[in-house]
A = this chain, B = another copy of it.
């Protein structure tokens, strides 16, 4: 469904949001351990998330990554996915045709678009704050 990069990005973002919500900034080592991802690769992904204003980064001692609580209210999963995987998941043809639209549809088009839209809505309607609140229940995990 999503690329590895995107999966790590989602896990990292959710973890950072969770920690930020309880007032913690987290560094690379902490993040990659918490989400069980390759550290150096995760660093690259965090750079992209920072450049695209999904997360904030502060260098130096007591620095690290964080997300402001206000931002969590509006930031959704779709924003993260778009940074890493672009919008192909929303616009791409299920059968790989170069163009996907109602004018020249592939045989799967209408069935596929219906599901694609549901995925899109789910990702757009799920904010980081919602997930952070969910995770207070302690039944959700970010690794293994």
- A59 interface contact, C-beta 8 A: no
| B2, B115, B142: the one within 8 Å of A107 (CB) | B142
Taking CB atoms, residues of chain B closer than 8 Å to A4 are 96
Per-residue interface assignment for chain A, residues 71 to 112, with 1 indicating a CB less than 8 Å from any chain B CB and 0 otherwise: 000000100000000000100101111110000111111011
Interface residues of A in 53-75 (CB under 8 A from B): none
> Are A141 and B106 within 8 A (Cβ)?
yes
| B11, B105, B122: the one within 8 Å of A115 (CB) | B122
- A14 interface contact, C-beta 8 A: yes
> Are B134 and A107 within 8 A (Cβ)?
yes
> Are A107 and B135 within 8 A (Cβ)?
yes
Per-residue interface assignment for chain A, residues 130 to 143, with 1 indicating a CB less than 8 Å from any chain B CB and 0 otherwise: 01001100011111
> Are B95 and A144 within 8 A (Cβ)?
no
- A33 interface contact, C-beta 8 A: no
> Are B135 and A97 within 8 A (Cβ)?
no
> Are A126 and B108 within 8 A (Cβ)?
yes
Name A's B-contacting residues (CB within 8 A).
1-2, 4, 7-8, 10-11, 14, 77, 89, 92, 94-99, 104-109, 111-112, 115, 118-119, 122, 126, 131, 134-135, 139-144
- Told that A1-B92, A97-B142, A108-B126 touch, could you supply 16 new A-B pairs with CB distance under 8 A? A1-B89, A4-B96, A10-B94, A14-B107, A77-B108, A95-B142, A97-B144, A104-B141, A105-B139, A107-B134, A107-B140, A109-B140, A111-B122, A115-B115, A115-B122, A118-B118
